[in-house]
């Protein structure tokens, strides 16, 4: 895909702050950072529009809490259209970490994440939203 050059007018303070971010995050140059920022906004728009998207639901829970593991499994079994894969990790003798890879309609994934995160016994949960990549170049 050919690269396109374009110019943008930005106030000096904003450019300086952005250049500090570029350096701190280790980007090779400003263009790479701008491409990432553009992609991030495009991914957010995919989610806002309710497009087909992908993501990971991360769950930390107390495996001693009666029924939480079984409830999480049951929720996933009822969401086979969205759940791609799940990985279960034993953090220590009390805590488990579960990563659930998902793909599907944005609203369905958000609803699934909310159901899992709000389950009694889940100590922390988060949905990391990304794209299927179909609309990103």
- Summarize pLDDT for 12-37 with one digit per residue, the tens: 999 999 999 999 999 999 999 999 99
- Helices of type H across 50-81: 68-77
What is the spatial order of strands in the sheet that 122-130 belongs to? 83-90, 95-105, 52-62, 122-130
What is the spatial distance between Cα 124 and Cα 118, in angstroms, rounded to a whole number? 9
Say how many CA atoms lie within 13 Å of 8 toward its Cβ: 10
d(CA 44, CA 29): 23
Kindly calculate the radius of gyration of the chain based on its CA atoms and give it in whole angstroms.
Answer: 19
83 vs 29, 37, 52, 136, CA distance in Å? 37, 28, 13, 22
Q: What would the pLDDT profile of 33-89 be if each residue is shown by its tens digit?
A: 999 999 999 999 999 999 999 999 999 999 899 999 999 999 999 999 999 999 999
pLDDT of residue 137 exceeding 90, the answer is no
- The pLDDT-based confidence of 1 (bands split at 50, 70, 90) is confident
Alpha-carbon distance of 48 to 20, in angstroms, equals 30
Span 99-110, average pLDDT = 98
Does residue 68 contact residue 117 with C-beta atoms inside 8 Å?
A: no
Whole-model pTM over 0.85: yes
């Amino acid at each position: 895909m050919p690269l396109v050059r374009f110019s943008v007018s930005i106030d000096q303070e904003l450019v300086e702050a952005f250049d500090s971010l570029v350096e701190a995050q280790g980007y090779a140059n400003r263009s790479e950072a701008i491409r990432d920022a553009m992609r991030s906004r495009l991914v957010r728009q995919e989610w806002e529009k309710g497009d087909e998207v992908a993501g990971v639901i991360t769950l930390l829970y107390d495996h001693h809490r009666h029924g939480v593991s079984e409830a999480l499994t049951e929720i996933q079994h009822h969401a086979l259209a969205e759940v791609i894969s799940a990985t279960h990790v034993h953090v220590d003798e009390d805590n488990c970490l579960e990563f659930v890879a998902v793909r599907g309609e944005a609203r369905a994934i958000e609803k699934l994440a909310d159901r899992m995160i709000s389950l009694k016994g889940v100590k922390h949960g988060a949905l990391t939203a990304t794209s299927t990549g179909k609309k990103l170049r």
